[in-house]
Chain A
Amino acid sequence: MVEIRFHGRGGQGTVVASKVLADAIAKEGNWVQAYPEFGVERRGSPVVAFIRIDDKRIYDKSRIYAPDHVVVLDPTLVEAIDITEGLKEGGTIIINTDRKPDEFPFRGRFDVRTVHATEIAVKHKLGNLAAPIVNTAITGAVVKVLGLTKLESLAQAIREAIAIKPEDNVKAAQEAYERA
């Protein structure tokens, strides 16, 4: 079983990122469970979403407290909250940032990977500089780093889930996959 926690801010599409990834993983025949934080969301406030992946039916309906990996959509959250909370020792942290992995203090305890999803999103005209839509780009990086599903399955899941500019979103995911 693999458990992943996503950190973002309300309005960034954090829940959609987790859902698209779950879709892509299910296409390979695995069982998945994706859920948002249980409660009320506010635009701009830190939000979390989770996915659980297994090769057999998932009976565990409790929340995820000790994820294997963490994905951070908004780099400012690294300072704002403890994104490593409960993260298993040696777990992967994928961060959307222009900084290098060794610039983060938790480097060493965890496997830190970085991808500049914001730059990729802006390049593909997803949102704008003030509010780039990075959720699809980051899923490309997740698939590359964690290898949970095929890039083609992710592209298909994005096309099915994203109504606005689906092909640009697919391209962003592909570029993040290549750069991660």
Chain B
Amino acid sequence: MKKVIMGNHALSYGAMLSRAQVIPAYPITPQTQVVELLSEMCASKTLDAKFIKVESEHSAMASCISASAAGARTFTATSAQGLALMHEMLHWASGGRHPVVLGNINRAMAPGWSIWTDQNDSLSERDTGWMQFYCSSNQEVLDSVIQAYKVGEALMIPAMVILDAFALSHTYEVVEIPEQDKVDAFLPPFKPEIRLTPDDPHAFGGLTGPEHYFELRYKLQKDMEKAPALIEGTGLEFERLFGRRLGLVDEYKCGDADLLFVSSGTAGYTANVAVDLLRDEGIKAGNLRMRVVRPFPFETVRRILGKAKKAAVVDRNISYGHHGIFYQEVKSALYGVKKAPPVFGYITGLGGRDITPDTFKEIAAHALAKDGPDEEIVWIGVKR
């Protein structure tokens, strides 16, 4: 069934179709409608789940973790300051191997107080051991929630489904709502091997000395390394059932590109428009949209960027004292790769400043005029 829904509701529908069983959440702009709709679904029994009103995001994640430990499929959603407040519990979820799925609306971190989009909130949680899916359309948001459970529960690793504030969260788009029985066929019930139960009591997450901790982290990384292949595999399975592809990246006219944008989020779709405009002008542009950032798709990025003549990485985020975060990651993936193209790093759109096709054209003009990058950060759109 096709419906015109907002990005926030795409998260709610994703959780509903995945049959989330426990939903602890705390409201925050611009996430509020995610939780509103889910609480309505729980109240009307459209969704058979326990909705828990908690006193903070920290408690929301703590509740997700304990419910997940007891074997329930859990969902929550937050944004920016709320995600930051969850930080301690994010480590607990991944370290305890609880495959929670979290919807995060990308909102700039305060101060100055902002409700508009950028990626510094979720990228600050890059190293917490969660998978991160960055979405570019409401359809992808809904589909990614279902896929995140499938991959997350197979590996016992939690996952974030991430979308831009307003540009996706409050934007209505046509979304195909999959049929419940087809989703059920794709995503069986969550049945963890070890769970918290009075029938077989265990202490979870107890004191772990140096003789064991190291190995647990080794195992988390080893399982994370299995994720890229599993994401591609479940993406193909999803495509067979639903007709939509969910890969690690999204390639748009990359094959013969002289200039390849590396982009993400809603800007990752706007880049496609710029690619077409540039091609009309005779410039062979392409766009590699990064959908999955953790696990980082090293092989895919090396394969695609290895063929490009130049790459322009567009970051809506910054690691202060370093560069744009995608820029660092792409450069590190290309280290030692023979014939790797020159990679330019651009920062734009912080705090919700709009990223338009013209922004990408400005980036293209800059990158095409130079042989290689001569500054670490090229700022696009700063009023100077």
Direct contact of A and B (CB under 8 A): yes
Are the C-beta atoms of B355 and A35 separated by less than 8 Å?
no
Contact with A along B285-307 (1 / 0, CB 8 A): 00000000000000000000000
Interface size on B, residues (CB 8 A): 27
Contact present for B2 and A26 (CB under 8 Å):
yes
Complex interface: chain B residues within 8 A of A146 (CB):
none
Contact with A along B273-284 (1 / 0, CB 8 A): 100000000000
Does residue A85 face the partner (Cβ distance < 8 Å to B)?
A: no
Q: Is A39 within 8 A of B168, CB to CB?
A: no
B269 touching A61 by the CB < 8 A rule? Answer: yes
Q: Which of A32, A38, A39, A59 contacts B4 (CB 8 A)?
A: A32
CB distance from A154 to the nearest CB of B (A): 13
Decide yes or no: A19 and B4 within 8 Å by CB, A62-B355, A62-B357 being known contacts.
Answer: yes
B47 CB-CB contact with A under 8 Å: no
Flag whether A23 is at the interface (Cβ < 8 A): yes
Instruction: Count residues on chain A whose CB falls below 8 Å from chain B CBs.
Output: 20
> Binary interface profile of A, 105-148, with partner B (CB < 8 Å = 1, else 0)?
00000000000000000000000000000000000000000000
CA distance A63 to B367 in the complex (A): 25
- Given A39-B116, A59-B269, A61-B270, does the pair A34, B171 have CB atoms closer than 8 Å? yes
User: Assuming the A-B contacts A26-B2, A26-B4, are A19 and B172 also in contact, with contact meaning beta carbons closer than 8 angstroms in the complex?
Assistant: yes
**Which residue on chain A has the smallest CB distance to residue B276?**
A59
CB-CB nearest in chain A for B116: A38
Q: Which residues of the partner chain A approach B115 to less than 8 Å between Cβ atoms?
A: 39-40
Chain A 23-42 per-residue mask, 1 if CB under 8 angstroms from chain B, else 0 = 10010000111111011100
Q: Does A60 contact B (CB under 8 A)?
A: yes
Bound-state CA distance A159–B145 (Å) is 30
Report whether A61 and B266 are in contact in the complex, using a CB–CB cutoff of 8 Å. yes
Contact status B273-A35, CB under 8 Å: no
Determine whether the beta carbon of A61 is less than 8 Å from that of B166: no
For this complex, 23 residue pairs linking A to B, each with C-beta atoms less than 8 Å apart, are A19-B4, A22-B4, A22-B172, A26-B2, A32-B174, A34-B172, A35-B166, A35-B170, A38-B116, A38-B165, A38-B167, A38-B352, A59-B270, A60-B269, A60-B273, A61-B136, A61-B167, A61-B267, A61-B355, A62-B354, A62-B359, A63-B354, A65-B356
